[in-house]
């Protein structure tokens, strides 16, 4: 695997030149085992509802994405290096990308859990987004058809939201306890930090 070979080369260079950066043995196998037992084993630690909240999708959909990326995108295929050691798994790479997208986290936020460096996490995110567009763009990243709209209207009406699709309303809510370091990015013309509260009607939120 090209990216794994590059990582190994960089690690060897760093190991021989400590002034550049301290080499860290992250034990990526531990990250894979922990992730598997937490969410994907026969009796996972966390139930499906917690998986959906943390991954922003249900487990079958996530596994469908992982399977296609693992089979069709070389970067996500787990391979062995020259020493016979397995690289990061597709689950680790996809979980890292999803967590960064779902929570807006920095590249090194999942280092301790998934066992991958910030540079690798950012590379996972780049390949993940490109692969999603390539493999799922025609299915999900498209304009809704009249049939799609009618199906959503019917689903909404059955739940008491007649003739409505999407957002109900939104408003700016003053964030009184906004951290000082974040005030600049959340402050608008009012001069006070605010967050946007939006009410959304979607059948996906009821699953």
Give per-residue pLDDT as tens, 24-35: 888 888 999 999
Q: How confident is the model at residue 205 (pLDDT cuts 50, 70, 90)?
A: low
- The CB density around residue 187, as the number of other CB atoms within 10 Å, is 14
Examine the domain organization and report whether 106 and 189 are in the same domain: no
**For residue 65, what pLDDT is reported?**
95
How many domains is the chain partitioned into structurally?
2
**For residue 207, what pLDDT is reported?**
42
Model pTM? 0.67
The residue from 140, 168, 196 where one domain ends is 140
Examine the domain organization and report whether 13 and 79 are in the same domain: yes
Q: How far apart are CA 98 and CA 110, in angstroms?
A: 11
Length of the chain: 207
Quick: pLDDT tens for 19-69.
555 668 888 889 999 999 999 999 999 999 999 999 999 999 999 999 999
Q: How far is CA 177 from CA 104, 172, 206, in A?
A: 20, 15, 31
Examine the domain organization and report whether 189 and 100 are in the same domain: no
Q: How confident is the model at residue 165 (pLDDT cuts 50, 70, 90)?
A: confident
Examine the domain organization and report whether 88 and 28 are in the same domain: yes
Q: How far apart are CA 77 and CA 86, in angstroms?
A: 10
**For residue 80, what pLDDT is reported?**
79
Examine the domain organization and report whether 116 and 171 are in the same domain: no
The residue from 86, 121, 140 where one domain ends is 140
Examine the domain organization and report whether 186 and 118 are in the same domain: no
Q: How far apart are CA 8 and CA 102, in angstroms?
A: 29
Range of the domain at 11: 2-140
Best-predicted range by mean pLDDT (93-97, 100-104, 164-168):
93-97
Examine the domain organization and report whether 134 and 167 are in the same domain: no
Examine the domain organization and report whether 6 and 103 are in the same domain: yes
Examine the domain organization and report whether 62 and 157 are in the same domain: no
Examine the domain organization and report whether 152 and 198 are in the same domain: yes
| Planar angle of CA 136, 50, 26, nearest 5 degrees | 80
Examine the domain organization and report whether 74 and 101 are in the same domain: yes
Examine the domain organization and report whether 58 and 101 are in the same domain: yes
The residue from 110, 140, 170 where one domain ends is 140
């Amino acid at each position: 695997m090209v990216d794994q070979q590059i990582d190994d080369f960089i690690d060897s260079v760093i190991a021989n030149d400590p002034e550049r950066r301290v080499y860290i043995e992250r034990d990526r196998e531990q990250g894979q085992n922990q992730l598997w037992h937490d969410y994907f084993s026969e009796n996972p630690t966390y139930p499906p509802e917690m998986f959906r909240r943390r991954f922003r999708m249900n487990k079958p959909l996530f596994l469908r994405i992982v399977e296609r990326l693992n089979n069709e995108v070389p970067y996500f295929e787990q391979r062995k290096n020259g020493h016979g050691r397995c690289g990061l798994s597709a689950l680790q790479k996809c979980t890292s990308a999803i967590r960064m997208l779902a929570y807006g986290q920095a590249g090194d936020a999942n280092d301790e859990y998934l066992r991958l460096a910030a540079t690798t996490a950012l590379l996972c995110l780049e390949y993940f987004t490109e692969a999603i567009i390539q493999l799922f763009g025609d299915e999900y990243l498209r304009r809704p058809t009249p049939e799609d709209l009618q199906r959503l209207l019917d689903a909404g009406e059955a739940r008491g939201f007649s003739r409505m699709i999407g957002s109900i309303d939104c408003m700016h809510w003053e964030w009184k306890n906004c951290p000082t370091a974040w005030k600049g990015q959340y402050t608008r013309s009012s001069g006070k930090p605010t967050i946007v509260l939006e009410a959304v009607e979607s059948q996906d939120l009821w699953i």
